Structure 1
Amino acid sequence: MASDQQPWHVLVFGASGAIGKTICDSASAKDWTVVGVARTPGEAEPAEQSRRVSYDPFQGADLPSVLGEATRPFDAVVWAQGANLTDSVYDVEVDAHLELYKANCLYVLISLRQLLDAGLLSPEGARLCVISSIWQERARQTKLSYTMTKAAVGGLVRSAAVDLARDGHLINAVLPGALDTPMTYANLSPTQLGVIEGATLFNRLSSADTVADLVTFLCSKQNNSLSGQSIAVDLGFSNVRLV
């Protein structure tokens, strides 16, 4: 855990994406030191991140080597990386399905194992958070592989919460619904957006800032009891049926 002399130290995977970037901004606003991780070195380093490294576990990268010997243990780690895919039982392609599992679930498992093996999680107990999706626990049309891999993330978080407790580590998942981000507007038609916005009486999309605020709470010293939870940020969309 961070001392009075050292700011809270957080590692953010997927730091170049809309959610990851917003989480980095929120952490930086709290004067935390942020190490952002991207899969490729060509992406520009935002000012809000103290440092940017490139890491791809499926290209044989060793995370401790990428981070460097001088890296001190992390007080918090966030996984905001991931991929999406449109398919169904009628047209699923096995290779594409496996690639999505690797991106959404196995990436978390491999990098977490490397952090544990290298002693790079705070010995006083780290706070870990995985960005998943409301479709982890729900289903929609033509999202077979995405729903299955996000459901696997839920299993990972629940199981890891049990095992990591012996070392004092907490792990949770945050499940965003459709967010007010450029990616949402690029991937959904105006009709689909209207359906989602109108599914609750809020008549709007959830905010990426709210996701980031929840993540930074779960990853802060203030969280000393929440673990193994999957918390939706969707304005109640998952539970509402307007009649």
Structure 2
Amino acid sequence: MALKTALITGAARGIGLATSKLLLGKGWQVAMLDRDRDELTKASDGLEGAMPFFCDVSIASDVDKTVPAILEAFGGLDAVVNNAGVAEFGPIDKTDFAMWRRVMETNLDGVFLVSQAVTPALKATRGSIVNIASISGLRASTLRVAYGTSKAAVIQLTKQQAAELGEFGIRANCVCPGPVRTKLAMAVHSQDIIDAYHDAIPLNRYGSEMEIAELIAFLCSDQASYVTGQIIAADGGFESTGVGLPALRS
């Protein structure tokens, strides 16, 4: 049986790295893509079945050079996970256009560019696209005008992909993580922020990178062969509850 191959962007750390390791453990080959050369080199070192590719997904010429190199190395693609993203937060009146464009270039343009570049390969395998958005694309929050808008656009892009690529057997789904216990989040979230999130989330905790990776791996797999066009929040119930739950608990 031929090995399946996944391309994962933003694979040097966090959810991208966790997903890479999980798929490798399930017998996949993984093209690990990131623009942080040093971190990706360290992350991919010793991972059998993985190969690092250094690319900035927001630059069309980078994508156009890298995708053919991946196809040459692995012979094809069965899944692409568009995970690469940047987060810059600030109030609307302090969000200048340069910040807006930095966020959009990676979070939205990158998803479009990579997906478009790999579509011919996915047609050949009737493969899968999994886009990583955010709970911030489903519900508004303070300081996230650029970030939240970019992720909401990724949700709509996913639906477009499902509608237009389904006739070729390509499935497209979107995962919207809620608060996840990453090193970055724990470094910037004060105890008050952590407590507030716990109060607002029915499961009363942050998620883990591996919990998000498990959902991504399922959507990439043949077990999800009739699932497409879906927007799935992996958020401990955060999006479903809206407002008022913490007060009602007591």
Alignment TM-score, normalising by the size of structure 2: 0.89
**Kept in 1: contact 2:77–2:125 (CA 8 A):** no
Supply the distance in 1 between the matched residues of 2:214 and 2:101 (Cα, whole angstroms).
32
Task: Work out whether 1:108 is the aligned partner of 2:104.
Answer: no
CA drift of 1:201 comes to 4.5
Q: Which amino acid aligns with 1:151?
A: A
Give the alignment of 1:35-50 within 5 angstroms.
35-43=31-39, 44=41, 45-48=44-47, 50=50
Which is worse superposed, 199-208 or 85-94?
199-208
Cα distance in 2 for residues equivalent to 1:110 and 1:200: 34
Match of 1:80 in 2: 83
Distance 2:233 2:127 in 1: 22
1:82 and 1:218 map into 2 onto residues whose CA distance is 20
Q: Give yes or no for contact 1:73–1:122 (8 Å, CA) kept in 2.
A: no
- Conservation of the 8 A alpha-carbon contact between 2:129 and 2:172: yes
Deviations 1:92-125 (A, max 9, x none): 2011101110110100111111222xx3225241
The one-letter code matched in structure 2 to 1:39 is R
Alpha carbons 1:79, 1:108 under 8 Å: kept = yes
- CA–CA separation in structure 1 for the residues paired with 2:202 and 2:109: 37
Contact 1:17 1:81 in 2 (8 A): no
CA distance in 2, matches of 1:214, 1:46: 25
- Identical positions, percent: 26
1:91 aligns with 2:94: yes
**Which moved further from structure 2: 31-40 or 53-62?**
53-62
The CA distance in 2 between the partners of 1:68 and 1:75, in whole Å, is: 11
- What pairs up with 1:188-203 in 2 under 5 angstroms? 188-203=189-204
Residue 173 of structure 1 aligns to a residue in which SS? Answer: strand
Instruction: State whether residues 22 and 212 of structure 1, in contact with CA within 8 Å, keep that contact through their aligned partners in structure 2.
Output: yes
Would the aligned equivalents of 2:115 and 2:129 in 1 still touch at CA under 8 Å? Answer: no
Is the 1:138–1:238 Cα contact (8 Å) retained in structure 2? yes
Q: List structure 1 segments (4+ residues) > 6 angstroms apart after TM superposition.
A: none
Q: Which residue of 2 aligns with 1:17?
A: 13
Q: Are positions 1:8 and 2:24 aligned together?
A: no
Count residues in correspondence: 237
Distance 2:53 2:125 in 1: 25
What residue is the counterpart of 2:74 in the other structure? 71
Aligned to 1:53: 53
Structure 2 CA distance for partners of 1:168 and 1:7, relative to 1, 3 Å: same
Native 8 Å contact 2:9 2:33 kept in 1: yes
Measured after TM superposition, the shift of residue 69 of structure 1 is 2.7
* Counterpart position of 1:182: 183
Q: Rate the CA distance shift 1:51–1:122 in 2: closer, same or farther, 3 A.
A: farther
Whole-Å separation in 1 of the counterparts to 2:202 and 2:171: 34
Deviations 1:161-211 (A, max 9, x none): 111112110011101111122111122211011100122353211122111
The CA RMSD measured in Å over matched residues stands at 1.6
d(CA) in 2 for partners of 1:162, 1:22: 29
Residue in structure 1 matched with residue 228 of structure 2 by the alignment: 227
| Alignment deviations for residues 34-65 of structure 1 (CA, whole Å, 9 cap, x no partner) | 11001143332243351111112417222234
Q: Contact 1:63 / 1:111 at 8 angstroms: preserved in 2?
A: no
Map 1:25-36 → 2, pairs under 5 A: 25-36=21-32
Give the Cα–Cα distance (whole angstroms) in 2 for the partners of residues 31 and 209 of structure 1: 17
Match of 1:154 in 2: 155
Partner of 1:123: 124
